[in-house]
């Protein structure tokens, strides 16, 4: 049986643009009340207006996912504004690409901090609310790069491989409390990051689009709660 998402409350990190924005809007069209996070307040305000136009309750919080105290405070504010939380879409991330010998240590560490520690801090902040509710969903967004590294992407691939492993540990611990932890490893999607990084031309006729990713996420969340998609990948058919 497919379950409805209507009336649920979700937090989407990196929800001001790209994949996060696409997921936030798709959830809203399903009747989900949405809290979005990010570092760019103007982007968040634009997305917030679009969410309100759909007719759901929505809120935003500005914080950097690499700062644990700010994450804790921001998540708490969003839960207060939404009334509760049922779903976390752990989407915020960066892509900084380059050869190992050419990237500075700081660049490399910054990618790890955002993509790995960000997922850890936000999930840890949301977990107590899901535990108290007795159920919930956490969707951690990794990448196929985390399954197999490649040239010019060492920091990104390493960060996403770590997210895969962290997410598997979360699933092993938290499924016992009826919290589903889903690890997603999409291939290249026509997001701002991928296009600006030269990974794809974003051709909508052949390349995965943000709305494809958003539909994928929502379809898995709709599954009967006895079912858990532990991990899944998504590819363009013929890019």
Mean pLDDT by 10 residues, the chain (239 residues): 89 97 98 98 98 98 98 98 98 94 97 98 98 98 96 96 98 98 94 73 88 97 96 94
* Catalytic residue of the set 26, 121, 127, 156: 156
pTM value is: 0.96
* pLDDT the model gives residue 1: 57
156 counts as catalytic: yes
Superfamily of domain 9-234: NAD(P)-binding Rossmann-like Domain (3.40.50.720)
Tell me which residue has tokens 């902040």.
125
Residues 6+ apart with CB under 8 A from 103: 96, 154, 155
* pLDDT the model gives residue 239: 86
* pLDDT the model gives residue 190: 83
φ and ψ of 233, to 5 deg: -115, 155
* pLDDT the model gives residue 37: 98
Q: Please check whether residue 85 is in contact with residue 9, taking contact to mean a CB–CB distance below 8 angstroms.
A: yes
CA-based nearest residue to 214, from 19, 35, 31: 19
């Amino acid at each position: 049986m497919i379950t409805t998402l209507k009336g649920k409350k979700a937090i989407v990190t990196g929800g001001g643009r790209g994949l996060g924005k696409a997921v936030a809007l798709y959830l809203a069209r399903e009747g989900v009340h949405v809290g979005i996070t990010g570092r760019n307040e103007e982007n968040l305000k634009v997305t917030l207006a679009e969410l309100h136009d759909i007719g759901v309750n929505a809120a935003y919080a500005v914080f950097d996912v690499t700062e644990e105290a700010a994450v804790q405070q921001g998540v708490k504010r969003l839960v207060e504004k939404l009334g509760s939380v049922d779903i976390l879409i752990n989407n915020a991330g960066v892509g900084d690409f380059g050869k190992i010998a050419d990237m500075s240590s700081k660049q490399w560490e910054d990618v790890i901090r955002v993509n790995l520690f960000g997922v850890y801090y936000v999930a840890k902040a949301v977990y107590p609310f899901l535990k108290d509710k007795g159920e919930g969903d956490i969707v951690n967004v990794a990448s196929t790069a985390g399954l197999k590294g490649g040239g010019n992407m060492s920091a990104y691939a390493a960060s996403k491989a770590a997210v895969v492993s962290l997410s598997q540990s979360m699933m092993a611990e938290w499924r016992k409390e009826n919290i589903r932890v889903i690890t997603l490893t999409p291939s290249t999607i026509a997001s701002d990051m991928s296009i600006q990084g030269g990974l794809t031309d974003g051709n909508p006729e052949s390349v995965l689009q943000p709305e494809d990713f958003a539909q994928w996420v929502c379809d898995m969340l709709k599954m009967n709660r006895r079912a858990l998609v532990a991990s899944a990948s998504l590819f363009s058919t013929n890019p």
